[in-house]
Amino acid sequence: MAEDDRVAVKTYVPRQQKEIWSAQADDLEMSQSEFVRTMVQAGRSEFEIPSAGDSGGTEPGSDAPADEDFADRILEVLQRSGALDWDDLVEALVDDVEAELDAEIQRLQDDNLVRYSGREGGYVVTSDE
């Protein structure tokens, strides 16, 4: 994508939300724009990496095959990082998924939908009991 192909998108969020996003972007060593763009894409993308021979299917509410979303993710990584060999490309994609997972787990914990339980050996869904 050429630099002149970019356009601005403006939105308003509560100050506290911006502070949270800013801190999370810093933790991920991302600009705030890159963080928001990545989180929006993560919300629109499946978190599974299609295996070879996977026919893909479609996302709910979308006519685009899931393969195209994965292709877009590959292109984003290569545009951001430049030339990568196979192992580095796999590592970059895994790192992206880990960053997305970390942000989502944090959001779910902030919303009190999941919590980490040492006793149970991992993350668990909270109950309203």
Measured from the Cβ of residue 120, the count of other Cβ atoms closer than 10 Å reads 9
115 touches 106 (CB < 8 A): no
Predicted confidence at residue 65, as pLDDT, reads 55
What mean pLDDT do residues 24-44 have? 80
pLDDT at 44: 65
Kindly report, residue by residue over 37-92, the tens digit of the pLDDT.
Answer: 887 777 665 544 444 444 444 444 444 555 677 888 888 889 988 898 888 888 88
Question: Residue 17: is its pLDDT beyond 50?
Answer: yes
Instruction: Report the chain's mean pLDDT, rounded to a whole number.
Output: 77
pLDDT tops 60 at residue 5: yes
Any idea where the domains of the chain sit in the sequence? 14-46+63-125
